Amino acid sequence: MPAKKFAVGKVPAETLTRIVYSRIGKRNPRLLLGPGIGRDTAAIKNNPILILTTDPVTGTSSRIGEHSVYINANDIATAGAKPVWYLCTILLPPGSKEQVLSDIMKGIDRASRDLGVTVASGHTEATKGLHRPIVAGFMIGEKKGRLLRAEDARVGDVILLTKTAGIEGTAIIASDYSKRLKSVSAQTLQKARGFSRKISVVPEALTMSKIPGVRVMHDPTEGGIINGCWELGEASYLGVELWADKIPVAPETMIICSKLQLDPLKLMSSGCLLAVIDPRSIARTVSALRKIRVSVTAIGRMRPIGQERKYTFKGRTSALVAVPHDELYKLA
């Protein structure tokens, strides 16, 4: 039997379960929340509880300093924790100019100051085999009170989505692949590049975490909203009914995806937030988000696992399965 080879993007869930999650070192009773499909953070028993996450920026060479801080802080905030400490490893192609490192660090500094995060440590080197910089970030947050866990989701809970689908992917495509979008107006591309400023979900995540009835939150990244909802199902051991027609897509995202024949619902979506919530808490949640000027839409609900996972789009029902490759990687 030939050995499996990985394509660009996330390692398949089956491989993670079989090879990665079965090799996690010494068991420790202080680990309150460990690795698993759809779980972006770990929780360590402490006072306050420590929330840990790590995530690299590999899909773009634009604004990777800011992106690294924001996407790691997003994961911390989805656990209802305040991001506090940031570390990173910066890998540069041999021959990189000093200005490249300076731009990355300026971005890290700006985003960290914006969120009130301290850059605690890191590592930087020029590495053979790279054709563009990579930043692998690590964030530590602190949490008091209840942990938000996917296992707490219940049948009948509603899935909410803040902002619009494909925010990060739209910003990356407009910045890195503009030559393929010559027929798109300069105004549209400029607005799309500005989506980089929408990538943080820390304000809405911390706001929602204080509302009783919010069970779990999830930051959809690779594979977009479709993959993020599938991950919610995997992590909660429940079925998912997704109303794909109701997923909001910004005009700029729609235009760019249409030109490149990409599916915006399967496009990298850091910048929006999925939340599973008790239906009785929806009104309070919408009101709280309106006060911080964040839009929110109900896009589905949790179902018994026996009813499987599915999504409806334009009158057709399809199985909700893992998205093997983000739409962004079709352009590489």
Residue 2 lies inside a defined structural domain of this protein: no
pLDDT above 90 coverage of the chain, percent: 81
- Pick from 125, 143, 161: which residue ends a domain? 143
- Distances from the Cα of 277 to the Cα of 266, 269, 285, angstroms: 23, 20, 9
Angle at 33 between CA 31 and CA 38, to 5 degrees: 150
> CATH number, domain at 116?
3.30.1330.10
Q: Distance between CA atoms of 216 and 93, rounded to whole angstroms? A: 39
What are the structure tokens assigned to 188, written together?
């549209």
Residue 90, domain extent: 13-17+24-143
Q: Kind of pairing, strands 274-277 and 316-319?
A: unpaired
Query: Residue 307's pLDDT band (boundaries 50, 70, 90)?
Result: low
| Phi and psi at residue 80, to the nearest 5° | 80, 20
| Residue 177 and residue 295 in one domain | yes
Same domain, 155 and 223: yes
Q: Are strands 296-303 and 316-319 parallel, antiparallel or unpaired?
A: unpaired
155 shares its domain with 68: no
Single-letter residue type at 20: V
Total domains in the fold of the chain: 2
pLDDT (tens digit per residue) in 165-195: 999 999 999 999 999 999 999 999 999 999 9
Compute the average pLDDT of residues 304-331: 86
Greater pLDDT, 62 or 132: 132
pLDDT digits (tens, 9 = 90+) for 226-251: 999 999 999 999 999 999 999 999 99
Going by their DSSP bridges, the two strands 118-126 and 82-92 should be labelled as parallel
Mean per-residue pLDDT of the chain: 93
Residue 251 and residue 230 in one domain: yes
Domain stop point among 101, 120, 143: 143
pLDDT of residue 59: 74
2, pLDDT greater than 70? no
